[in-house]
Amino acid sequence: MPNRIIKWIDHRFPLTSFVKHELTGYPTPRNLSYLWNFGFLAGFVLMLQVATGIFLAMHYKADIALSFDSIQHIMRNVNYGWLLRYMHSTGASAFFLVIYIHMARTLYYGSFRAPRELLWWTGQGLLLLLMATAFMGYLLPWGQMSFWGATVITNLFQATPFYGDQVVIWLRGDYTVGDATLSRFFALHYLFPFLIIGAVVIHLVALHSVKSSNPSGIDLAAKDNIPFHPYFTAKDFYGLGIFLIVFSVFVFFMPNSLIEPANNIPANPMQTPKHIVPEWYFLPFYAILRSVPNMVGGVVAMGLSVMLFAFMPFLDRSRTPGGGRYRPVYRIQFYLFLLVILVLGWVGYVPPTDLTIIIGQVATLLYFGSFFFVPFISKAEERWLMKRGLPAEVTALIESETLEIAKRKLNPRRRKGEVA
């Protein structure tokens, strides 16, 4: 009976061929490590957030007089409401952790380079959508940290040239963060995950067009690829099992460790918390904002700190594939960059003092310097590596790329014909 149904569908829609081409039979490099699991985990957490968010929205009230109490109602009176709320709040942190590891893997192995620039940029667009969704969702509990965090962040839009005040009022729907702000943030927080799903589809189309990268950085021959199923589905589900164990520990044993204590107090516009901090996944960018004395400069620096990742395909001028695998200088630079991000996260979390301000400013300079020096260091490192010697397959790939570029320069008509 199931085979007859599938045949009936295949006669009207290419279901079997689509699943085979895009999922089960998708050719995958055989040397992928477990670091390639995090793309699958990101998709899983996205579905988890959408599912729990829909059920939470059924009981949530987007009203400043009722929103905080509606959260308490979900926690205390709705069957398994506490589980839905903790899965959703913990899932937000898990989502960013998975995405950041996914980005770190891409940076380490240089998977953002040609021909995968569009794949990298669609991922950057996904990150911006995720940040916007998380920021708007953070206001919904209407606790102290939610209210004051939204007040601080929306105030930053006053830095918009000429129309700063109007932009802030447009975002809030009022002169202060209030009922109109809560209503529109709830509506957009509900909408954006579906936009993210659409962006994920675009991301996957870009991925399947250029195929997956691998730790070597060298596009493997067809004979070295294997079907995605069952080899990598088994690998992904093993990683999912490990993830669910860790995720369950937080959900069932320490769910409040990822919720700021001040957010368990109803929002009070007349009482400012001693230290306003965003969620942990925004702390490095918040530290960069605080490190610049001028508000406009701080907003520009914070925006650039996110957008600079999109320029990595142009900044990294080395032709050596594999990223940090074959490039020791790049590997050291990568680990130092991670250390700078951790320092910025700590600076963003602690109350500002003379010492932490200086540390934050130094870390901010190092953060931007990491991007600024990439073109010079990558080219110098490539020359050093060529003199020192690389594996034969890496040298062959570099020579073939150089030869292809030379041919295109000598014969521009051929290049136009290929594009056409």
Active site members: 208, 212, 235-236, 279
**Does a cis peptide bond (omega within 30 degrees of 0) precede residue 293?**
no
* CA atoms of 13 and 10, how far apart (whole Å): 5
> How far is CA 128 from each of CA 185, 186, 230, rounded to the nearest angstrom?
16, 18, 33
Contact residues for 271 (Cβ-Cβ < 8 A; gap 6+): 144
Q: How many CB atoms lie within 10 A of CB 54?
A: 12
Nearest to 285 by CA among 301, 269, 274: 301
Residue 266 has phi, psi (to 5 degrees) of -55, 145
Query: Which residue is associated with the tokens 């020192």?
Result: 388
Packing angle between helix 117-139 and helix 295-307, nearest 10 degrees? Answer: 130
DSSP labels, 131-185: HHHHHHHHHTT-BHHHHHHHHHHHHGGGGSTTTHHHHHHHHHTSSSSSHHHHHHH
Give the distance, in angstroms, between the CA of residue 260 and the centroid of all CA atoms in the same chain: 22
* Burial profile 362-374: b = 16 or more Cβ within 10 angstroms, e = fewer: ebbebbeebbeeb
The closest alpha carbon to 94, from 281, 230, 236, 239, belongs to 281
Measured CA distances, 241 to 105, 235, 285, 340 (Å): 20, 10, 32, 31
- CA gap 406, 399 in Å, rounded: 11
- CB 415: neighbour CB atoms within 10 A? 13
225-227 and 27-29 beta bridge pairing: antiparallel
- How far is 137 from 278, CA to CA, in rounded Å? 12
CA 334 centroid distance within chain? 17
